[in-house]
C-alpha cells in the first residue's frame, strides 16, 4: 500500500508544484479540491433550482420544457442548465481527485478514518444524483439510462416484478418511475449535503470555501464553457426504437458500457466490493501513532488555546478536577489525537525561558517533551560555526530539511512545525544560539497536520496566541513551505536567507521589517505569464469537462441491429388442483369459512422457449414469486438481433408437465434497424402477443 501511495505521490507532487508556480499557494486548485467540491455543489444547487422552476415533471412534457428553456432563454435558462450539467461533471472530477489525493498523501488513517468513511457514500450519492438527472431529460440518453438502470437494478433480485418492464415500449411506459426519479434527484442532494457536513465534523476550522479568486475563476470557466458548448437534449425518447448512437456523459455513466460485458450482478459485486475495500483502506494498515498528547494539570491554566488550535478536535475543555483556582482544564481524547504537537505550540506554558523548576508545559507529547526540545536546540546550536548560523525547524513531511545540516546549519525535526512554541524562536535568537531561524514545513495551505503552517505564521505575525514577542526581529526568522518534491526550493530558500542575514549583519535594516516572517524569492513567474498560465489551466479543465460530457459517442446498437425483448408476468397453475365444493359441502361448513373453491398456495414455475428463425434464442424456467411460491413468474430477457425479416416461435408451459406446451405462437417480423420489438404473453388473450403491449400480470388457466 505504501508503494502505491508513493507512486501516486510521485505523480501528484510535480503537478502540484507546477500549479503552485502558476496559481500561487493560496489558489492552487489541487490543494483546494475539498473546498472546490463544496463550491461546485453550490453552483449545481443554485442552477438546479433555477432549471427546476421551468421543468415540467410530466413524462411527455419534460423534454419539451427543457428544450424551450435552452432555446428561448439561452441567455439565462440555457446557461443555468449548462452550468448545472458541467458543474456536476466537474464535481465528479474534483471529488475523485480529492479522494485519490487524500489516499496518496496518506491522510486517511488514524483519526482521519472519519472523513474517509463518510466520503465513500458521498461518491454513491453523487452518482445517483447524476444518473437520475440524466433520466429527467427524457431524451435518447435518458431512455438508455432508464432502460439500462432498471435492467441493472433487476439483477439484484429484490423486486417482485422486473422494474425494467416500466420501459418496455411506448405503450407500456409508466410515468410513476419517472416521477420517482424526480423525487430522488431532489432528495439525494439533500442527503449529500448532510453527509458533506458530517464529513468535516471531526476537523476543526475546516475550510469549505475556496479562495474567492479561485471560485470566480472556476465559475467563469464553467460559464464560458456553457456559452461555447451549451448543454442540450438529444432527440426525444422513443421506446419503440432503440437508440443506436448516444452522446454519452463519461463522468457519470462510465460503468454502463460494462453492463453488457460483465453482467449486472458482477458489476454490483465490483462496485459494492470496491467500496468496502475503499472504506477499509483507512485501516490498511492501521496507523501507528506516537503516544497522544498528555495534559499536565499542574501546568495547565485552562486558557483553552490548545483547544482552539487542535486541528483534529481532540481536545475538550472540562471543569477543573484538581481544585486549582482555574475554571477549566484541557482534556485530550486519545483516540482522536494525531500526535501532531500543534497544541504544544499553542500552550503559553511551553517556554524555554523558564528556569525555576523542571520545564514541563501544560500539554506535552510524551515522546517529544518541551524540555528535551530545549536541550536539543542548545546542543545542536552549540556546534554551529560561521557568521550566519541558522537553526532550521523542519517537519516530518517537509521537502527533506535533514539534508540541510552542515557546520553552520542545525536541523531540528518536529512532527509539525506548528508544535514550535513562539518563545523558542525568541530563545534561539535572543540567547545568541543562532543568527537566524528557518522554519521548513509542508506546502503552503496544504499542511499534513492541516493547520501548522497557518498557525505558525499567525503566531509570528502576532495574529494568534501565543504571540512572538515584539522584540524579536522578524527578518531573522524565515519560513519556507514546500512539498516533499521541492528540496531544491528549500535549499535555495536557505541560501537566500543566509545571504540576507549576512547583508543584514553588514547593514542592519533602517526601518522595522514588519511582523511577517521573512521569505525567499523563489523564481516567481512574471505576472502576465502567471495569468496566461491560469487561463490555460482553466481552459484545459473546461475543455476536458465539455468534451467528455458528450464524447466519444457511445454505440448502443450496431446500425443494422434491432432489439427483441421477451417480457411478461404470468402466474403458473396451482400446484394442487383447485377443489370446487358442492352446495351440500358448503352447507356443512361454517359461514365464515365458506369458500366455493380452494386452490392451495404454491404454483408451478413457468417454462418459456423462444426460437429465432428455427434456432433456440432463449430457454428459461421462472420460479413463482412470493414467500409461499404463490406469486406470478416474471420474465425479462433482451436480445440484439440482426435487422431484417425473422420468424419468431414462442412456447410456454405453466402446469408442471414434463413435455408439451400449453401455449405457443409464431410470427414473421420485419425488424427495422434500431427497432424495439416486444414479445409479451397474456393468457386471457390466448397466449403470446407479438410486438404489442398488453400490460399487467396475467393469470394462468388451461386453454
Residues that bind ligand SF4 (CB under 6 A): 292-293, 295, 300-306, 310, 312, 314-315, 330, 332, 337-343, 346-347, 349, 362-363
Closer CB to ligand HEM, residue 140 or residue 203? 203
123 touches ligand HEM by CB under 6 A = yes
Between 343 and 606, CB nearer to ligand SF4: 343
Side-chain-side CA neighbours of residue 424 (13 Å): 33
128 is a site residue for ligand HEM (CB under 6 A): no
For 439, list phi and psi in degrees, rounded to 5.
-105, 120
- Cα separation of 701 and 694, whole Å? 17
Cα distance between residue 421 and residue 456, in whole Å: 9
| Shortest CB 539 distance to ligand HEM, Å | 24
Pairing mode, strands 663-671 and 644-653: antiparallel
* CA atoms of 315 and 330, how far apart (whole Å): 7
For the segment 424-463, give every residue that binds ligand HEM (CB under 6 A).
Answer: 450
Going by C-alpha positions, the residue among 273, 271, 268 that lies closest to residue 158 is 268
Residue nearest to ligand SF4 (CB): 362
Q: Which of 92, 95, 330, 342 binds ligand HEM (CB under 6 A)?
A: 95
120 binds ligand HEM (CB under 6 A): yes
122 binds ligand HEM (CB under 6 A): yes
Closest contact distance (angstroms) between CB of 675 and ligand HEM is: 42
Reduced DSSP (H G I as helix, E B as strand, rest coil) percent helix, strand, coil of the chain, to 5 = 45, 20, 35
C-alpha cell at 114: 472519519
> From the list ligand SF4, ligand HEM, none, which binds 337 (C-beta under 5 to 8 Å, kind-based)?
ligand SF4
Could you tell me the smallest distance in angstroms from the CB atom of residue 478 to ligand SF4?
Answer: 24
Q: Closest distance between ligand HEM and the C-beta of residue 276, in Å?
A: 12
Shortest Cβ 154–ligand HEM spacing (Å): 28
Cα 181 from chain centroid? 21
Instruction: CB nearer to ligand HEM: give 78 or 130.
Output: 130
Stretch that binds ligand HEM, among 57-65, 120-128, 566-574, 582-590 (CB under 6 A): 120-128
Q: Rounded to whole angstroms, how far apart are CA atoms 90 and 93?
A: 5
Query: Least Å distance between CB 361 and ligand SF4?
Result: 6
Cα angle, residue 293 at apex, residues 290 and 297 outer, rounded to 5°: 150
Angle at 193 between CA 44 and CA 277, to 5 degrees: 105
Q: Which three cell numbers stand for residue 141?
A: 440518453
Taking the complex as a whole, the smallest distance from the CB of residue 564 to ligand HEM amounts, in Å, to 41
Give the x-and-dash track for 164-203 against ligand HEM (CB under 6 A). Answer: --------------------------------x--xx--x
Please report whether residue 309 would count as binding ligand HEM according to CB under 6 A. Answer: no
Question: Which is closer to ligand SF4, CB of 241 or CB of 349?
Answer: 349
Residue number, 344 or 520, with CB nearest to ligand SF4: 344
Choose among ligand SF4, ligand HEM, none what residue 35 binds, the Cβ cut-off being 5 to 8 Å by kind.
Answer: ligand HEM
Residue 352 binds ligand HEM, judged by CB under 6 A: no
Cell of 538: 482553466
Beta carbon of residue 458, minimum distance to ligand SF4 (angstroms, whole number) = 15
Q: Is 233 or 301 the residue whose CB approaches ligand SF4 more closely?
A: 301
Question: Rounded to 5 degrees, what are φ and ψ at 670?
Answer: -100, 110
**Binding to ligand HEM by residue 464, rule CB under 6 A?**
no
Identify the H or E element spanning 659: none
**Residue among 635, 513, 628 at smallest CA distance from 570:** 635
Cα three-residue angle 88-276-549, rounded to 5 degrees: 20
The answer to whether residue 682 forms part of the interface with ligand HEM (CB under 6 A) is no
Nearest residue to ligand HEM, by Cβ distance, number only? 119
Q: Helix/strand/coil (H, E, C) string of 156-167? A: CCCCCCCHHHHH
Which of ligand SF4, ligand HEM, none does residue 304 bind to, with CB < 5 to 8 Å depending on kind? ligand SF4
| φ/ψ of residue 310, rounded to 5 | -65, 120
- Pairwise CA distance, residues 606 & 349, whole Å: 81
- Of 34, 302, 572, 632, the one binding ligand HEM (CB under 6 A) is 34
Which of 161/364 has CB closer to ligand SF4?
364
Residue 29's binding partner among ligand HEM, ligand SF4, none (Cβ under 5 to 8 angstroms by kind) is none
Output the 3-class SS for 540-553: HHHHHHHHHCCCCC
Closest CA to 289 of 503, 510, 109, 25: 109
- Name which of ligand HEM, ligand SF4, none residue 246 binds, using a CB cut-off of 5 to 8 Å depending on partner kind: none
The single residue among 13, 23, 27, 37 that binds ligand HEM, judged by CB under 6 A, is 37
Q: How far is the CB of 307 from ligand HEM (least distance, A)?
A: 18
CB of 336 vs ligand HEM, minimal distance in Å: 12
DSSP string, 50-80: HHHHH---STTTHHHHHHHHHHHTIIIIIHH
Say if strands 698-699 and 561-571 run parallel, antiparallel, or are unpaired.
Answer: parallel
Strands 409-414, 390-395: parallel, antiparallel or unpaired by DSSP?
parallel
Q: How far is the CB of 277 from ligand SF4 (least distance, A)?
A: 28
Q: Which does 441 bind (CB under 5 to 8 A by kind): ligand HEM, ligand SF4, none?
A: none
Q: Minimum distance from CB of 36 to ligand HEM (Å)?
A: 8
Contact residues for 202 (Cβ-Cβ < 8 A; gap 6+): 111, 114, 115, 312, 313, 336
Residues forming the site for ligand HEM (CB under 6 A): 34-35, 37-38, 95, 98-99, 102, 107-108, 112, 115-116, 119-120, 122-123, 196, 199-200, 203, 206-208, 450
Amino acid at each position: 500500500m505504501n508503494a502505491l501511495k508513493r507512486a501516486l505521490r510521485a505523480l501528484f507532487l510535480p503537478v502540484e508544484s507546477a500549479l503552485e508556480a502558476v496559481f500561487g499557494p493560496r489558489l492552487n486548485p489541487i490543494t483546494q479540491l475539498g473546498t472546490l467540491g463544496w463550491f461546485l455543489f453550490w453552483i449545481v444547487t443554485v442552477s438546479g433550482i433555477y432549471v427546476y422552476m421551468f421543468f415540467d415533471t410530466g413524462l411527455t412534457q419534460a423534454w419539451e420544457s427543457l428544450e424551450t428553456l435552452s432555446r428561448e432563454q439561452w441567455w439565462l435558462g440555457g446557461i443555468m442548465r449548462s452550468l448545472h450539467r458541467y458543474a456536476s461533471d466537474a464535481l465528479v472530477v474534483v471529488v475523485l481527485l480529492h479522494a485519490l489525493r487524500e489516499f496518496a498523501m496518506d491522510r486517511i488513517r488514524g483519526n482521519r478514518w472519519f472523513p474517509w468513511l463518510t466520503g465513500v457514500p458521498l461518491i454513491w450519492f453523487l452518482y445517483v444524483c447524476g444518473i437520475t438527472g440524466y433520466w429527467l431529460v427524457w431524451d435518447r440518453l435518458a431512455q438508455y439510462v432508464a432502460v439500462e438502470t432498471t435492467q441493472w437494478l433487476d439483477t439484484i433480485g429484490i423486486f417482485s416484478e422486473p422494474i425494467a418492464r416500466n420501459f418496455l415500449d411506448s405503450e407500456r411506459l409508466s410515468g410513476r418511475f419517472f416521477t420517482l426519479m424526480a423525487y430522488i434527484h431532489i432528495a439525494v442532494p439533500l442527503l449529500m449535503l448532510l453527509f458533506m457536513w458530517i464529513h468535516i465534523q471531526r476537523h476543526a476550522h475546516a475550510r469549505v470555501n475556496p479562495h474567492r479568486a479561485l471560485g470566480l475563476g472556476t465559475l467563469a470557466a464553467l460559464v464560458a464553457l456553457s456559452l461555447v458548448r451549451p448543454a442540450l437534449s438529444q432527440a426525444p425518447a422513443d421506446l419503440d426504437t432503440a437508440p443506436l448512437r448516444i452522446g454519452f456523459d463519461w463522468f457519470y455513466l462510465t460503468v454502463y458500457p460494462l453492463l453488457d460485458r460483465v453482467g449486472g450482478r458482477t458489476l454490483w459485486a465490483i462496485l459494492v466490493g470496491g467500496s468496502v475495500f475503499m472504506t477499509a483502506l483507512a485501516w490498511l494498515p492501521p496507523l501507528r501513532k506516537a503516544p497522544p498528547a498528555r495534559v499536565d494539570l499542574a501546568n495547565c491554566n485552562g486558557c483553552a488555546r490548545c483547544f482552539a488550535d487542535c486541528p483534529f478536535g481532540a481536545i475538550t475543555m472540562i471543569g477543573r478536577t484538581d481544585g486549582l483556582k482555574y475554571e477549566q482544564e484541557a482534556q485530550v481524547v486519545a483516540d482522536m489525537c494525531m500526535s501532531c504537537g500543534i497544541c504544544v505550540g499553542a500552550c503559553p506554558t511551553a517556554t524555554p525561558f523558564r528556569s525555576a523548576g523542571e520545564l514541563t508545559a501544560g500539554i506535552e507529547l510524551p515522546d517529544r517533551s518541551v524540555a528535551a526540545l530545549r536541550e536539543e536546540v542548545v546542543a545542536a546550536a552549540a556546534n554551529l560555526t560561521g557568521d550566519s548560523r541558522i537553526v532550521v525547524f523542519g517537519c516530518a513531511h517537509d521537502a527533506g530539511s535533514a539534508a540541510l545540516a552542515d557546520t553552520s546549519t542545525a536541523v531540528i525535526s518536529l512532527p509539525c512545525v506548528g508544535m514550535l512554541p513562539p518563545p523558542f524562536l525568541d530563545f534561539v535568537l535572543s540567547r545568541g544560539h543562532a543568527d537566524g531561524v528557518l522554519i521548513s514545513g509542508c506546502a503552503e495551505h496544504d499542511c499534513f497536520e492541516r493547520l501548522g503552517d497557518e498557525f505558525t505564521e499567525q503566531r509570528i505575525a502576532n495574529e494568534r496566541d501565543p504571540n512572538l514577542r515584539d522584540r524579536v526581529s522578524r527578518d531573522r526568522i524565515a519560513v519556507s513551505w514546500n512539498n516533499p518534491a521541492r528540496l531544491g526550493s528549500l535549499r535555495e530558500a536557505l541560501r537566500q536567507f543566509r545571504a540576507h542575514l549576512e547583508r543584514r549583519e553588514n547593514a542592519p535594516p533602517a526601518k522595522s521589517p514588519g511582523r511577517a516572517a521573512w521569505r525567499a524569492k523563489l523564481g516567481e513567474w512574471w505576472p502576465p505569464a502567471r495569468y496566461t498560465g491560469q487561463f490555460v489551466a482553466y481552459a484545459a479543465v473546461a475543455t476536458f469537462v465539455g468534451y467528455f460530457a458528450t464524447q466519444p459517442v457511445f454505440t448502443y446498437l450496431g446500425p443494422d441491429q434491432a432489439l427483441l425483448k421477451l417480457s411478461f408476468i404470468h402466474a403458473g397453475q396451482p400446484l394442487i388442483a383447485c377443489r370446487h365444493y358442492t352446495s351440500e359441502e358448503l352447507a356443512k361448513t361454517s359461514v365464515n369459512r365458506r369458500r366455493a373453491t380452494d386452490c392451495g398456495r404454491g404454483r408451478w414455475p413457468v417454462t418459456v422457449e423462444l426460437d429465432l428463425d428455427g434456432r433456440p434464442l432463449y430457454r428459461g424456467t421462472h420460479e413463482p414469486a412470493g414467500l409461499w411460491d404463490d406469486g406470478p413468474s416474471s420474465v425479462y430477457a433482451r436480445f440484439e438481433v440482426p435487422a431484417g425479416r425473422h420468424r419468431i416461435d414462442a412456447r410456454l408451459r405453466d402446469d408442471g408437465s414434463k413435455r408439451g406446451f400449453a401455449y405457443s405462437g409464431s410470427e414473421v417480423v420485419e425488424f427495422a434497424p434500431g427497432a424495439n420489438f416486444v414479445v409479451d404473453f397474456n393468457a386471457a388473450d390466448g397466449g403470446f402477443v407479438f410486438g404489442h403491449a398488453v400490460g399487467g400480470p396475467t393469470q394462468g388457466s388451461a386453454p
